[in-house]
Amino acid sequence: MAKKSRANKRKKKKKSSPLLIFVLVIVVLAAVSLSVSYFLLQDDSHQLSSIFENSDTTEETTELTDPPIIKDPVEKDEPKTLLEGTWVSNYDGNIMTINRLGFTLESPSVSTSSKLSGKISIEKNIITFSYTSGSEACGSTEGHYQFQLEGAEEVFFKLIKDDCSSRKERNTMGWFKL
């Protein structure tokens, strides 16, 4: 009788062993996934600060040249800047289209959508935004930002001065080119 009870205990241990290994593998994979996610997110949050650490608004800014101007074959009289095109906010998905000296900002939404328009001026790596229509909160208040292009596909704005809190919050996040 003692031999049978020992054999039964061994069988129970063998049955629970694969389950235990499976659970341990899942836990280890989850831990590895969380640590990788943590380090990737830390890298992204420091990306903005590292981009602008290398481009202070002191001496380095005065040495910068104007952004290259690209001539459009259709409209040869009107120069283009590197910021021209359609950009999507990493913050809230808003879409900003920059054309020559103006911009439109659309906030696509299922329930309601809003559209703002305004003027921009670019001098070296400084851009100034001012709304001309659609923004009751900001009015025609100007917002001044230093911009930094990451390749041709991503732009970051560093706040210089802006009294419009909604524009300030939106613009200080990254934008990617559509």
- pLDDT of 142 reads 92
Give the model's confidence band at 61: pLDDT under 50 very low, under 70 low, under 90 confident, else very high. Answer: very low
- pLDDT of 94 reads 86
Spatial separation of the C-alpha atoms in residues 156 and 145, rounded to whole Å: 9
List the structure tokens of 82: 């590197």
- pLDDT of 79 reads 57
Mean pLDDT of the chain: 75
Dump pLDDT digits (tens) for 79-130: 567 789 999 988 888 889 988 788 988 887 767 677 888 899 988 889 999 9
3-state secondary structure 11-50: HHHHHHHHHHHHHHHHHHHHHHHHHHHHHHHHHHHHHHHH
pLDDT(71) > 50: no
- Segment 62-78 shows an average pLDDT of 48
In sequence order, the β-bridge partners of residue 98 are 85, 103
Of 14 and 107, which is predicted with more confidence? 107
pLDDT(154) > 70: yes
In sequence order, the β-bridge partners of residue 130 are 119, 142
- Segment 137-155 shows an average pLDDT of 87
According to DSSP, the β-strands at 70-71 and 79-80 are: antiparallel
- pLDDT of 144 reads 95
